[in-house]
Amino acid sequence: MSKPLVALLSGAGISTDSGIPDYRGPEGLWRRDPEAEKLVTYASYMGDPEIRRRSWQLRLRLGALSAEPNAAHRAVAELERSGTPVRVITQNVDGLHQLAGMPARKVFELHGTARRVVCTACHEGGPMQDVLARVEAGEEDPPCARCGGILKPATVMFGERLDPVVLGRAAAVAKACQVLLAVGSSLQVHPAAGLVGVAADHGARLVVVNAEPTPYDEIADEVVREPIGTSLPRLLRELAHTGTV
């Protein structure tokens, strides 16, 4: 019998054990500092040099690029290595699924990646680490080295559209999977959250693993409130052995 296609939709909650704060949880970044949302809003970022300066300082302070994958990320990669077809659709921009061993071609980053930067004028890209080194050296709002344009992380900010190619591939996975695990996501941000409904409509078994209630709990086959770092590895071991959760 062929193994089921497993899709994992991951949100910020899967990375909190790696030291990366979530956004909407009880201790989330937006709740602690509502002004922080401006730092990742495209219009504010492009129109206000002070917002850009603060956003570069925040990236330095959070140190997200030094974060390491945790047990949950590793469990997903281990499932894929075991021979089970796995695709990851992630709302995260931290790249930790790939660092844990998931092949990049099997990870669909709906909101882009914080590991690279892009120029808003000439669209030249490059490693985030190189630009953060410039900030550490004293450049408060480092311009594009090629054209002098405004640099931003290669993430989808509020006010920007998701990449239609990435979203299309993620939707195809949602339609084709037999199991979808929604892990560490509030499932309040669309169109990402809507992929859960797409999977359910196409007959997938739906498992929600999240500390807080989500709008999709009532259609889920299983809802898990336990810590992700222990519950997800257990669920995925069960899936590897039995083909279901």
Residues tagged active-site: 111
Q: Are 117 and 126 in contact (CB under 8 A)?
A: yes
Tell me phi and psi for residue 23, to 5 degrees. -110, -40
Burial label, 175 (beta-carbon count in 10 A; 0-12, 13-18, 19+): middle
Structure tokens at 215: 């709008």
What values do phi and psi take at 169, rounded to 5? -65, -40
Tell me the DSSP string of 146-191: TT--BEEEEE--BTSPPPHHHHHHHHHHHHH-SEEEEES--S-STT
